[in-house]
Amino acid sequence: MSALEAGLTAAHAEVKAEIARTDTKTSLLLAFIGAVLAGVWTAARDVRLPVTASVAGRLGVLLLVVAAGLLLRAVRPRISGAAVAGFPLWATLTADEILARLAHDERGQDIVNLSRIAVAKYRTLRRAVDLVCAGGMLLITAAAFTIGGAA
C-alpha cells in the first residue's frame, strides 16, 4: 500500500470515527438534559417559587429545551437532497454505476464531504453544550433564590 493510499484510508477512518463520536456525545447530552428536566419538574411542580427563582428557572428550562432541539438536529440523518457520497448516493445509482464509481478512488472527495458533516455536527454540539451550561447556571441561580427566599 502506498503512502497516499494509507493516508487516505487513515483520514477516511478518522472522519467516520469523529462523526460517530459526535453522535455518542449527543446521545449522552440528550439523556442528561432529559434527566435534568425530569428532576426540575419533580422538584418544582408543587413548590411556590419566588419570582426571581421562577424567572431564572423558566429561562434555564427554555435553554435546555433549545439545546435538546439543537442536539436532535445534530443527529438527524441528512439523506435527502443532492446525494454526494456514501449510501445516499449509492441508493440513486444502478449496480453498474456503483461498480464504475468504485473502480475510481474517490476517497478524497468522500473525506471532504464527511469532514463537512463532522464539522457541522461539532458546531451544533458546541452550541448545545454552551446552552446546557447557561441553562444549568440559571437553574442553580433559581435554586439559590429559592433556598434564600425560604430562609
**How is the chain split into domains, by residue range?**
3-150
pLDDT digits (tens, 9 = 90+) for 40-72: 999 888 888 899 999 999 999 999 999 999 999
pLDDT digits (tens, 9 = 90+) for 111-121: 898 899 899 99
pLDDT reading at 149 higher than 80: no
Cell of 119: 464539522
Mean pLDDT of the chain: 89
pLDDT reading at 144 higher than 70: yes
pLDDT digits (tens, 9 = 90+) for 127-139: 999 999 999 999 9
